[in-house]
Structure 1
């Protein structure tokens, strides 16, 4: 990504290792993945990249070339997500990346480099969202009513697959288009609703409880109305803002029903939390084969980023680099 006279351009070009951001670990990238934030990164005033030139890509999986950290060996398979990568630090849409060793997660056994990017930041975020809900009472044996918003997108689709693999049977998917139905039902959603089903009453204070737990990926007015429909002692996790940044609601759901709102961050979380979620994907959450995945080259990135911008992207797209 470059900026010239106020205009942004996204181009595929050859640069040198000296053009990469500083770090003590050099990685040969084999796969990256495409996320909503990557789409924002290539938009003017997208709020992601603040200085140019910059290599986008908030995810990568590859092999260590060299590192000053003795625990990372040449040839070792690793992954990196979050921090400032693809934002203030050159990212994963390149053949090589250089990062601080503290950012690097050794690839768990039973996951391949491709698996890691099929999941990527979207998978990490979905896993963190479910873990946050588990901490406040989400359990399959209680047969809770669960709603996943943005269910055909990266985070939402992976969340559906995790919930199905974990034994949850009362899962509703919030979708916007008919062509999204097959995807979400294939991932385990038993019911589907549309945005108009959420907005049941204009400016309500409370609505009839419909869900015990909500995993939200979109934000905005959808969240404001869903909070009013969460049952006593329920919770909503929040990780996205595609539908808007503002949240206009009232305190009654929180003080009359004990509803909990849980913020989910996948950028600056601790190394220990990252490793714990990746371990679950390698063991109890073995869902990669169930996901809708498209594989592209670096040259095809602009088309995929545009489809995300237009809201017609399904599931996960990974970028084959190495």
Structure 2
């Protein structure tokens, strides 16, 4: 820390009902028992960060606040036996960047129980390209592939151009699965095919499937990132003994279903809770993402920005105009 008393952070403040963001110098606070102080080298911009930066009280209750649900860096001080100075580490999810100051800062202070050692075969930049979205994809793939094998048939992935969906397709392709990507963006069909999707289904076609309790089996399993009618129809169109994971509700948190897919076809629906995923599984997924699941071109579609450029990128994300991963380089 070079004996400095302040550090730079992207702060969001509430003033007269408006939310204003800027890069500020803020003071260090005392490290409590069981906490570690991390010098952040990379973070990444996620939709939840954009909501927090825009004053969404469903994400962040109290302001001023520093968003950033992902961080990768080096431990500079530790009040825990789990980590020592100079350990390279990753922090994702839990309460980071939500109601605990997050990774859009030069330093972050967190409980050691939230921290994962950076796998040897992964750089900090690669880890933040993966981020919470890639970790969620890894969790989904781990659960799904334990019960469904490539020979069983195709795996459908909704929200396929998003972080979770695109990473899921890339991993499944590497593991030898046939994949079907669901997207609402015709302009991204080539992107999805290059990623490894064997077939493309347009979102409107899935939404307009027949309103019957069961549909013709099309999938051996699925990874759903959107919820609502898309998830309903994936469940209804999954073959007997199929498995579906779900991790999002951007379309809707509600499901309008009968129990028939579950009791007549033996379908399994697995919820993915990436925020509080047990550490033993978290470490297992990170190590797989760094080794046998690793995408060799991981950082090719990512863009690096500084803290000073965050506001503009957040605006673009909220307008749906940001493509690919945006990494925040705290050393710029």
1:277 aligns with 2:285: yes
How far is 1:309 from its partner?
A: 2.4
Listed as ranges, the matches of 1:144-183 within 5 Å are: 144-168=153-177, 170-183=178-191
What is the aligned length?
A: 319
Q: Distance in 2 between matches of 1:274 and 1:247?
A: 28
The answer for the alignment partner of 1:104 in structure 2 is 115
Listed as ranges, the matches of 1:256-267 within 5 Å are: 256-267=264-275
The answer for the alignment partner of 1:24 in structure 2 is 35
Q: Distance in 2 between matches of 1:300 and 1:278?
A: 29
How far is 1:5 from its partner?
A: 2.1
The answer for the alignment partner of 1:57 in structure 2 is 68
Q: Say if 1:287 and 1:171 are closer, same or farther in 2 by CA, change over 3 A.
A: same
Identify which of 19, 43, 59 aligns with 1:48.
Answer: 59
The answer for the alignment partner of 1:293 in structure 2 is 302
Q: Distance in 2 between matches of 1:20 and 1:194?
A: 50
How far is 1:203 from its partner?
A: 2.9
The answer for the alignment partner of 2:328 in structure 1 is 319
The answer for the alignment partner of 1:129 in structure 2 is 140
Q: Distance in 1 between matches of 2:231 and 2:33?
A: 39
Contiguous gaps of at least 5 residues in structure 2 = 1-11
Partner of 1:40: helix, strand, or coil? helix
The answer for the alignment partner of 1:139 in structure 2 is 149
1:304 aligns with 2:299: no
More strand by share: 2
Q: Distance in 2 between matches of 1:224 and 1:309?
A: 27
> Deviations 1:140-177 (Å, cap 9, x if unpaired)?
3x152111111111111111111111122x21111112
Query: Is the contact made by 1:150 and 1:217 (CA closer than 8 Å) also made in structure 2?
Result: yes
Q: Distance in 2 between matches of 1:34 and 1:320?
A: 11
Identify which of 220, 231, 235 aligns with 2:239.
Answer: 231
The answer for the alignment partner of 1:191 in structure 2 is 199
What is the RMSD computed on CA atoms of the aligned residues? Answer: 1.9
Partner of 2:297: helix, strand, or coil? helix
1:251 aligns with 2:259: yes
How far is 1:101 from its partner?
A: 1.1
Q: Distance in 2 between matches of 1:128 and 1:219?
A: 17
Q: Say if 1:31 and 1:224 are closer, same or farther in 2 by CA, change over 3 A.
A: same
Contiguous gaps of at least 5 residues in structure 1 = none
Partner of 1:50: helix, strand, or coil? coil
Partner of 2:94: helix, strand, or coil? coil
Q: Say if 1:6 and 1:23 are closer, same or farther in 2 by CA, change over 3 A.
A: farther
Partner of 1:115: helix, strand, or coil? helix
Q: TM-score, normalised by structure 2?
A: 0.90
Query: Is the contact made by 2:173 and 2:196 (CA closer than 8 Å) also made in structure 1?
Result: yes
Q: Say if 1:47 and 1:253 are closer, same or farther in 2 by CA, change over 3 A.
A: same
